[in-house]
């Protein structure tokens, strides 16, 4: 029995919730932006993630994974560009952490003081665009979404776009709620980090290291 073409919807809800909670470059980038620049910039980044995920879902519906399998050279290009971009974001996070320890202007302190004069590091500027790029340059996401969605779509249902929209809406709702929590949490943490440069630098270094790991993981990804 299916719910408008969705089979075992509650299993999907639980699975989608668990997937959203797994740390990834999207959520970590939004958290770092919210911590450094505040709630407004954090939501700009979240909007970039939302748009990027929507594009990936549409690509999944149109069979992007099949195209990548048919043309492995295209997959290789997207894979290495995405890995390089993630590594670049991680490098900038690490550089910003070292800069804060050398008494350079600290964007976290500016947030706590309400200042808008401090220029943010390059990786924290234009958060919508950067979050969008981070979301899109991940071909594995398309493959994962396709394999995950297929399990819960009733192939005999007359209108396959209906279950796809339902599954997408559930996933995007969880994503929006989770990112909102991260943004509010990050903005509150900024006040404490502004008074503890070593703690702030440690967090930036940790996130930067994770981005480098994400880049390396993507660079070694395959289509299987």
Residue 111 has pLDDT above 50, yes or no: no
Among 21-30, 91-100, 180-189, which is the least confidently predicted range? 91-100
CB 32 within 8 A of CB 93: yes
Question: Cα dist. 94→71, 183, 212, 214 in Å?
Answer: 35, 21, 10, 14
Q: How far apart are CA 209 and CA 211, in angstroms?
A: 5
**H helix intervals, the chain:** 9-21, 25-37, 39-61, 64-70, 72-101, 107-113, 127-136, 139-150, 161-194, 197-219
Residue carrying the six token digits 């800069």: 99
| Per-residue pLDDT, 66 | 66
pTM over 0.85: no
Residue 106 has pLDDT above 50, yes or no: no
The sign of the dihedral angle between the CA atoms of 38, 41, 43, 45 is negative
Residue 109 has pLDDT above 60, yes or no: no
For residue 73 the two structure tokens come to 């050279």
- Would you give the distance in Å from CA 212 to the centre of its chain? 14
Length of the chain: 224
Question: What is the arithmetic mean of pLDDT over 179-205?
Answer: 70
- Averaged pLDDT of the chain: 74
């Amino acid at each position: 029995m299916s719910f408008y073409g969705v089979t075992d919807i509650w299993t999907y809800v639980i699975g989608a919730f668990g997937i959203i909670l797994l740390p990834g470059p999207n959520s970590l980038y939004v958290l770092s932006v919210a911590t450094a620049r505040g709630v407004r910039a954090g939501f700009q980044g979240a909007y970039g993630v939302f748009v990027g995920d929507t594009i990936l879902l549409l690509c999944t519906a149109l069979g992007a994974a099949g195209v990548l399998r048919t043309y492995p050279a295209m997959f290789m290009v997207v894979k290495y560009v995405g890995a390089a971009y993630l590594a670049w974001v991680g490098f900038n996070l690490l550089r910003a952490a070292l800069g804060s320890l050398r008494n350079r202007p600290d964007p976290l302190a500016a947030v706590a003081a309400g200042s808008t004069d401090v220029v943010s590091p390059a990786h924290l500027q234009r958060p919508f665009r950067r979050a969008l790029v981070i979301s899109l340059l991940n071909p594995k996401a398309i493959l994962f979404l396709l394999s995950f969605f297929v399990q819960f779509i009733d192939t005999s249902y007359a209108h396959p776009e209906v279950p796809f929209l339902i599954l997408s809406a559930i996933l995007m709702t969880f994503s929006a709620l989770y990112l909102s929590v991260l943004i509010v949490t990050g903005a509150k943490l900024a006040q404490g980090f502004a008074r503890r440069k070593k703690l702030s630098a440690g967090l930036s270094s940790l996130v930067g290291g994770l981005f480098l790991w994400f880049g390396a993981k993507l660079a070694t990804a395959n289509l299987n």
